[in-house]
Structure 1
């Protein structure tokens, strides 16, 4: 039995191998394209530096301290979800956390973001990466367990808040490993990808193994949905995405789905990739703001739910402008089953909190279905 197969076998005791067709969470039902009474809403990076409560925590703890301390990560997650009045809470964590148990040290440097001090650029570097220490990541599962217990009871409207776990996609994490941090052109990543297909496959396989186990921990702890972030996939042509990225990403998403939860797959600047991204089998595709929602949904396909796609900088606009943009997205979605309102990327520092709260309120009010609409018209 391979290590990945062993992980799946071990995880199978806590989730059925097929997606559950109904849920007491409006958010989960929307992920599965089931009828809902209104459009669920949450925000990428909804716990972050724009929020005074979060900044109060940051005065005493670094980003990684928060991620690696379950009680604090849970507190930050819960506070944001309750303050904003959203339908889902995404656990406070960072994409790069799996690097440490794989034997790759990194840190966050002011003004630069994440920095990997010894980038992975040779076959020997890749061979040295470990896949047997994913238990070191269980602090994320502990935080999810706390959040899940906090939101276990339905709210006043009878809906239970959805709990979102997440991980990075193999390409995006590989690019951080190889570049040593963020990049504009991904030169080193593409050099390895093009120049040594076997090494690239070895790195992708190792990441899939680690990320599968990591996602399993999160689902076991109470995550209702797993979001897979492929933040930098938009740097790829369709041909390169299909040749070098689609196989490993599909494997990861299909393995997560065997845990019985829906999967959201999201990338930035990926409109050209959406028809290929749907081949991963993800239940929901995230849309960024560069593509109109109706066009993005057409590219994603009628049999896929979509999430998005307000430009996060629109949150700085006067409220009449902001409300009009919210109305436009909801009109484009037209109450079809399978739309989750969100941003096209994460909330940025300095965003007015009141505007974020207002968007959540407008979505709740404007998208509420009539009794007839709840049946769900054919797409």
Structure 2
């Protein structure tokens, strides 16, 4: 499916942005930078806005979700907005009983840890999300309209990244009925009842894939699939019992493409994102997809294999080592240790420069953290990092 001409990628507003170029394996004037969880608790303006509003209510309020997404772009000058949402939002939208409890996380009305419970859950048609996600589409449209007017110095509009949880991470919460340290219920179900596990993973893949697709169709210029808990798995279990569902989720974005004029900026592009000439001086490109997981150093190659154009790396694996694991020609995202955000500036300065140096081995690099921004982070530190990344790569 070709994106409509008014989409930021199709209209050329973000197709040559630093971020999108890096995701398709190109280097630009400076390394792009954004932070996972940049829209949230580290910002005083976020805390002020959220007073008296529950997390999921904030996610489903288009005006509030858009404003929260925009806050760090205005404050820090980052090269992308990450859509403010939560991985359980699509579950909430199709009627699953879930709330986010402060200090604990997503808590469900029941656990879906056996065949009968899974059958009850999967009786919900994931296609119901397409209509129920209207507030999400509206929030994205509002956000993109504002981002189109924000030039962060690259001469293009600031792109928005869509966001969704990977099927395994959703399943890990669903089978436990809430957060878990070891995700034992999910790991048990996948072996104790393979049929129920396949049904659960197919359902979560369909649901989260549609959630990503909604965001891209509404104006997001890239999509990130976030697998918080895949690090609990062996490589064999991931490849056999999880990766196919992640690939299915990403398929909902892979068929979305846009036409663009080829030119000098395309020189040296890798095959990280589809770029097919139609013989008329234009090219059809797919929307770039990023896959990130926590504690997934042993899974990086397999995570790229599910259909990711770029791979996010957490803080446990240096980027030059990650480059060897994912294979040649793959753009990387990451991977400053979030703990260093509270370190003295000389320590943080050295760490940022080290990440940039190691990321230089990849054809494209998007500077980020190796996980999310801690709530206690001084926002000034993030702003200084953005300035340093831009200056160091200039």
TM-score (norm 1): 0.90
1:63-121 CA distance string (max 9 Å, x none): 11210100001011111111011000011100111112343211122332211121112
The equivalent of 1:108 in structure 2 is 100
Question: C-alpha deviations, 1:301-353, integer Å up to 9, x for none?
Answer: 12211100000110000111101100111111227531000000000111111
Match of 2:281 in 1: none
Kept in 1: contact 2:209–2:248 (CA 8 A): no
Contact 1:39 1:335 in 2 (8 A): no
In structure 2, distance between residues paired with 1:15 and 1:306:
28
Structure 2, unaligned runs of 5 or more: 258-286
Partner secondary structure for residue 42 of structure 1: coil
2:43 to 29, 51, 66: 51
3-state secondary structure, aligned to 2:242: helix
**Whole-Å Cα distance in 2 between the matches of residues 241 and 133 of structure 1?**
28
- What corresponds to 2:62 in structure 1? 70
1:335–1:367: 8 Å Cα contact kept in structure 2? no
Structure 2 distance, partners of 1:262, 1:144, is 17
For the Cα contact (< 8 Å) 1:289–1:311, is it kept in 2?
yes
Q: 1:206 aligns with which of 181, 203, 228?
A: 203
Equivalent residue number for residue 192 of structure 1: 189
Encode CA deviations 1:119-165: one digit per residue, 9 max, x unaligned. Answer: 11222222222123202122122111111111114614413211111
Distance 1:209 1:112 in 2: 27
Moved more, 104-113 or 199-208: 104-113
Is 1:310 the counterpart of 2:307 in the alignment? Answer: no
- RMSD over aligned Cα, in angstroms? 1.8
Counterpart mapping for 1:342-361 below 5 A: 342-361=368-387
Contact 1:15 1:259 in 2 (8 A): no
Report whether the alignment pairs 1:14 with 2:7: no
Corresponding pairs, count: 355
Residue 75 of structure 2 corresponds to 83
Q: Does 1:256 align with 2:234?
A: no
CA distance in 2 between partners of 1:291 and 1:346 (Å):
16
What TM-score, normalized to structure 2? Answer: 0.86
Deviations 1:150-191 (A, max 9, x none): 111461441321111111111000111111111111111111
20-29 or 225-234, larger mean C-alpha shift: 20-29
Query: Structure 1: which 5+ residue stretches go unaligned?
Result: 1-11, 369-379
Farther off after superposition, 130-139 or 355-364? 130-139
